[in-house]
Structure 1
């Protein structure tokens, strides 16, 4: 990851990507330790307000990773740059709540209500997987624009992905492009995994970019995980012992069938990955001179040993 100097006077930009896949959230609500999207949203909003309250110049951006598309929930494009002057006419003013907190809360809730109203359309179009890559790309584009406008370099961005959906192998290539772009820009990518098994691709995102990856064991304690692991800013992390990954799943998805594989064949020219040997690379059209032979080895007891490394084909 790119080494970027941080200071306690920096303005911290948190880009929060929320996986709003309604089909997965319906499963979470019926799990042994249930957590509805409404309950999760309440805890996330507390976390967002806590981030804004830490420092007067902290900023937040919220993007929804929905089925088939992604959308900015906050700030809205036509309101950017004048957020503090936007009237909250659609909701009653709460005298006990800081106006900026109420503005952020109202816009996120209204945006999610609009997204979830299209659930029937998602079923009809068969958009059952979340567009994490699309939201990731939008976050990087937004951060790049903000950094270009920051002549003094005081804005320090980071990305937090609240993930509930399983890995989508068909999104592997664009997702890895986003991960390496974040690494080059020096942007840490944090991942809060809420439901079911680990996600291999997002594990790699956190590991490569120097972010924090946590699999939430108790979904009811989501706010506790967010506050203790993901609230500290980039400068404060230099003095904290944050959770680290003991094991990282570095499996990849093959370019031919979009399956997650343990062992594959790699093109020595363009580094495309295939689950079976092919005489011609379908990506760069390179022709290989011979077919590799996988010679089996045996242990001292005579039992076969699988190949120790991933075989590769010469150019």
Structure 2
């Protein structure tokens, strides 16, 4: 396997893997409706892709009981914004389907306490790192990877070991983990993730201007 220090990165080309918290228990009580949050995410993705047509964005949904890829800009047609928007429209439908499926899976899990339910951050980070490793192995030059976690749910203590393993894996692969907290509680997991990997940890005081905060994560 190619060592982290021998990787060759393409100048000014980024790969951003966004982990989105879709926990319905959190969003049911959140000050910002999920639809508005998702609209801000769409603007962020568009901005990132407009900065450089070679940039790549992947979005992973992290539910309570499962996680899944819901968007990959590489699947969009090379025609530009129209292709990307059509693909993201599909992603919007896919995230709705994912939330419904995750809710059904969660309903059958009596151990989940709705008030303090955590999203599956550990699984989402694993998916993100797996995707990045596939990119690393696809050729000699790669876009510069980052993971951006948009988290609102509280941390799940039972995920501590798995999350820390992902953090150290990201550190070894020189993949920064950025964090944007959209809930009321700070995340000790993501504070450690951003600190250890050299990423940015941000907790906006006001979510009405969320896109302005997300713009801070543009390369």
Same fold (TM over 0.5): yes
Give 3-state SS (helix, strand or coil) of 2:107's partner: helix
* RMSD after superposition: 2.3
Q: 1:84 aligns to what?
A: 77
Q: How far does residue 202 in structure 1 lie from its aligned partner after superposition?
A: 0.7
Give 3-state SS (helix, strand or coil) of 1:84's partner: coil
Q: 2:22 aligns to what?
A: 20
Q: How far does residue 211 in structure 1 lie from its aligned partner after superposition?
A: 0.3
| CA distance in structure 1 between the aligned counterparts of 2:15 and 2:169, rounded to whole angstroms | 17
| Long gaps (5+) in structure 1 | 29-33, 87-96, 234-315
| CA distance in structure 2 between the aligned counterparts of 1:172 and 1:37, rounded to whole angstroms | 26
| CA distance in structure 1 between the aligned counterparts of 2:8 and 2:213, rounded to whole angstroms | 24
8 A Cα contact 1:61 1:74, kept in partner: yes
Q: 2:65 aligns to what?
A: 68
2:127 corresponds, among 121, 138, 154, to 138
* Greater gyration radius: 1
Query: RCO higher in 1 or 2 (8 Å CA, sep ≥ 6)?
Result: 2
| Long gaps (5+) in structure 2 | none
8 A Cα contact 2:135 2:142, kept in partner: no
Give 3-state SS (helix, strand or coil) of 2:54's partner: coil
Tell me which protein shows more helix as a share of its residues: 2
| Residues 1:217 and 2:200 aligned together | no
Give 3-state SS (helix, strand or coil) of 1:23's partner: helix
8 A Cα contact 2:177 2:197, kept in partner: yes
Q: 2:88 aligns to what?
A: 105
Q: Per the alignment, do residues 121 and 225 of structure 1 end up closer, same or farther by CA in structure 2, a change over 3 Å counting? A: same
1:204 corresponds, among 185, 192, 199, to 192
2:109 corresponds, among 87, 112, 125, to 125
Deviations 1:176-232 (A, max 9, x none): 0000000000000000001112111110000000000001110111111001x211x
